[in-house]
């Protein structure tokens, strides 16, 4: 490990995210406040105001403008940062599509909160799900330490010359955004060193005043198809890159998260639970408790949501006798939760075991330890050949 020990202090998730962004030295920031992200915008404005962050803040009147500003700044070659949630995320959707279409390395924090449909100021992953086809890289983190570490890794990923894609770092509103826990904030010099290699790369194309080059000016017929194809390939390259960057981060800072997925007590497990975000942390305690009772359950924490970590999931889940997927969101039009439906795409490759879908944790209603215990017990029974329910809405039961 090369980095020196960072300062440890008790910080809420939002303040952690703002500090992480500060460490990465974005040049342009446009951030509109929205619960449960407001502290991110407030804290980062404070850093610029007190001089601890040298960045251009563009004050905007809404999230759509916020994304347009960082997209434009990024096209002009700047490192950028923004943050939003729920209503804000969907308000900026058209600009988000442009950001990924133009292949600009914007890094955005999305604090997971339920989306409109019915007014909701509560925790849930529906906002991330609503934008899953935006062409962005989407990563989900489990705790506050992972927030800072993943934001740093996200700049390394987004600005990689082979990638050049915008990255969204998701963390649960309330459960992580307002959660105070001890976090080791890396030293600024170490973050600079970790990101230094990015400057050694060839310069990515950018707008230069007076020059004749432009981005997104041609999108007819095969031009459109070609850009989409290259984008699709880049997303595929993200998977291996996420694993590589995670290893590099681990070697440098001494903390590593498994890359695309984290396997917890999974290699010798008979059956596995798939979860993401803060619920994965809770699930780890249930796995430990059940293991004490001799039940061989494992957990796979899905960190990479887009692109879908197909190869790593196949390797982790092949041969498992049953899998339970906990979704903190709803898959409209599908019988199963979104992550469960996507997992089913690899069912043939992993031996077609029973895959049970659980929908829980919507609208600030907890994914509690008893809920996860129930999931483990039912998936365990399915692994033994007992009859099971395809999909369960835990709060409705």
Partner 1 sequence: MKEIRIHGRGGQGAVLAARMLASAFVAEGKYVASFPMYGFERRGAPVVAFTRVDDKPIREKTQIYNPDGILVIDPGLLTLPTLFTGVKPGAAFILNSPKKLVDQPNENIKIGGAVNATGIAVQEIGRDIPNTCLLGAFAAATGWLKLESILACLPDYLSGDILQRNLKSAERGYKEVEVTKW
Partner 2 sequence: MVIKHKMIFKTESPWSDANEKMLVLDTGSWRTERPVLDVSKCNYCGLCALYCPPQCMKDMGDHYEANLAFCKGCGICAKECPKQAYAMVPEGEFSK
Residues that bind partner 1 (CB under 8 A): 9-10, 12, 35, 121-122, 143, 172, 174-176, 178-182, 278-279, 281-282, 284-285, 364, 366-369
Q: Does 397 bind partner 2 (CB under 8 A)?
A: yes
CA distances in angstroms from 347 to 7, 20, 217, 310, 353, listed in the order given: 45, 38, 41, 11, 7
- Indicate the DSSP class of residue 62: S
Q: Does 332 bind partner 2 (CB under 8 A)?
A: no
Tokens matching residue 119: 């007014």
The whole-angstrom separation of Cα 50 and Cα 190 is: 22
What is the chain's alpha carbon radius of gyration, rounded to the nearest angstrom? Answer: 21
The whole-angstrom separation of Cα 47 and Cα 213 is: 35
Closer to partner 1 at the Cβ: 182 or 208? Answer: 182
Q: Does 393 bind partner 2 (CB under 8 A)?
A: yes
Judged by beta carbon distances under 5 to 8 A according to partner kind, the member of partner 2, partner 1, none in contact with residue 381 is none
Closer to partner 2 at the Cβ: 119 or 213? Answer: 119
Task: Tell me how far, at minimum, the Cβ of 49 lies from partner 1, in Å.
Answer: 17
Residue 135 region, left (φ>0) first, then alpha (ψ -120 to 50), else beta?
A: left
Q: In this chain, which of 50, 61, 118, 212 binds partner 2, going by CB under 8 A?
A: 118
Closer to partner 2 at the Cβ: 118 or 220? Answer: 118
Closer to partner 2 at the Cβ: 178 or 388? Answer: 388
Closer to partner 2 at the Cβ: 161 or 393? Answer: 393
Task: Tell me how far, at minimum, the Cβ of 389 lies from partner 2, in Å.
Answer: 6
Task: Tell me how far, at minimum, the Cβ of 395 lies from partner 2, in Å.
Answer: 7
CB 380 within 8 A of CB 296: no
Mapped to the 3 state alphabet, what secondary structure does 107-145 carry?
EEEEEECCCCCCCCCCCCCHHHHHCCCCCCEEEECCCHH
Q: Does 396 bind partner 2 (CB under 8 A)?
A: yes
**Could you tell me how far CA 290 lies from the centroid of its own chain?**
28
Closer to partner 2 at the Cβ: 229 or 393? Answer: 393
Stretch that binds partner 2, among 155-163, 164-172, 366-374, 386-394 (CB under 8 A): 386-394
Closer to partner 1 at the Cβ: 94 or 181? Answer: 181
Selection from 179, 174, 185, 180 nearest residue 85 by Cα: 174
Q: Does 126 bind partner 2 (CB under 8 A)?
A: no
Q: Does 33 bind partner 2 (CB under 8 A)?
A: no
Tokens matching residue 213: 């080059």
Among positions 155-184, residues that touch partner 2 (CB under 8 A) are none
Task: Tell me how far, at minimum, the Cβ of 357 lies from partner 2, in Å.
Answer: 11
- Indicate the DSSP class of residue 92: T
Residue with tokens 């988000």: 96
Closer to partner 2 at the Cβ: 117 or 351? Answer: 117
Task: Tell me how far, at minimum, the Cβ of 397 lies from partner 2, in Å.
Answer: 5
- Indicate the DSSP class of residue 350: G
Selection from 48, 51, 15 nearest residue 30 by Cα: 48
Task: Tell me how far, at minimum, the Cβ of 377 lies from partner 1, in Å.
Answer: 18
Judged by beta carbon distances under 5 to 8 A according to partner kind, the member of partner 2, partner 1, none in contact with residue 62 is none
Task: Tell me how far, at minimum, the Cβ of 12 lies from partner 1, in Å.
Answer: 8
Stretch that binds partner 2, among 22-30, 48-56, 265-273, 389-397 (CB under 8 A): 389-397
Task: Tell me how far, at minimum, the Cβ of 362 lies from partner 1, in Å.
Answer: 14
CA distances in angstroms from 168 to 14, 140, 141, 257, listed in the order given: 15, 9, 11, 17
Q: How many other CB atoms are there within 10 angstroms of residue 211's CB atom? A: 8
Task: Tell me how far, at minimum, the Cβ of 16 lies from partner 1, in Å.
Answer: 13
Q: What is the largest CA-CA distance in the chain?
A: 70
CB 110 within 8 A of CB 168: yes
The whole-angstrom separation of Cα 255 and Cα 258 is: 10
Judged by beta carbon distances under 5 to 8 A according to partner kind, the member of partner 1, partner 2, none in contact with residue 182 is partner 1
- Indicate the DSSP class of residue 319: T
Q: Does 224 bind partner 2 (CB under 8 A)?
A: no
What residues make contact with partner 2 under the rule CB under 8 A? 118, 389, 391-393, 395-397
């Amino acid at each position: 490990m090369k980095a020196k020990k960072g300062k440890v202090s008790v910080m809420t998730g939002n303040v952690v995210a703002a500090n992480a962004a500060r460490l990465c030295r974005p040049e342009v920031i446009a951030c509109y406040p929205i619960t449960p992200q407001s502290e991110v915008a407030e804290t980062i404005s404070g850093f610029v105001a007190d001089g601890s962050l040298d960045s251009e803040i563009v004050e905007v009147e809404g999230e759509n403008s916020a994304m347009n500003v960082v997209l434009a700044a990024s096209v002009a070659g700047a490192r950028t940062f923004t943050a939003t949630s729920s209503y804000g995320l969907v308000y900026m959707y058209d600009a988000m599509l442009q950001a990924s279409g133009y292949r600009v390395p914007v890094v955005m924090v999305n604090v997971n909160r339920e989306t409109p449909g019915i007014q909701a100021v509560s925790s849930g992953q529906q906002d991330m799900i609503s934008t899953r086809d935006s062409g962005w890289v989407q990563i989900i983190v489990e705790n506050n330490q992972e927030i800072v570490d993943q934001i740093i890794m996200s700049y390394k990923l987004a600005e990689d010359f082979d990638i050049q894609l915008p990255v969204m770092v998701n963390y649960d509103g309330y459960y992580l955004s307002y959660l105070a826990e001890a976090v080791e904030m890396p030293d600024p010099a170490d973050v600079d060193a970790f990101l230094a290699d990015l400057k050694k790369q060839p310069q990515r194309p950018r707008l230069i005043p007076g020059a004749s080059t432009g981005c997104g000016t041609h999108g007819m017929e095969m031009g459109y198809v070609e850009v989409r194809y290259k984008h699709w390939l880049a997303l595929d390259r993200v998977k291996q890159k996420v694993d590589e960057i995670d290893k590099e981060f681990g070697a440098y800072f001494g903390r590593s998260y498994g890359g695309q997925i984290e396997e917890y007590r999974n290699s010798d497990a008979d059956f596995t639970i798939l979860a993401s975000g803060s619920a994965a942390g809770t699930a780890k305690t249930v796995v430990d408790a059940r293991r004490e009772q001799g039940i061989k359950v494992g957990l796979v924490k899905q960190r990479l949501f887009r692109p879908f970590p197909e190869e790593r999931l196949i390797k982790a889940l092949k041969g498992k006798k049953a899998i339970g997927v906990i979704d903190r969101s709803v898959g409209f039009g599908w019988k199963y939760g979104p992550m469960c439906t996507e997992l089913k795409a690899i069912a043939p490759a992993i031996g077609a075991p029973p895959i049970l879908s659980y929908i829980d944790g919507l609208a600030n209603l907890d994914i509690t330890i008893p809920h996860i215990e129930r999931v483990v017990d039912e998936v365990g029974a399915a692994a033994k050949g007992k009859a099971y329910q395809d999909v369960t809405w835990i709060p409705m039961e």
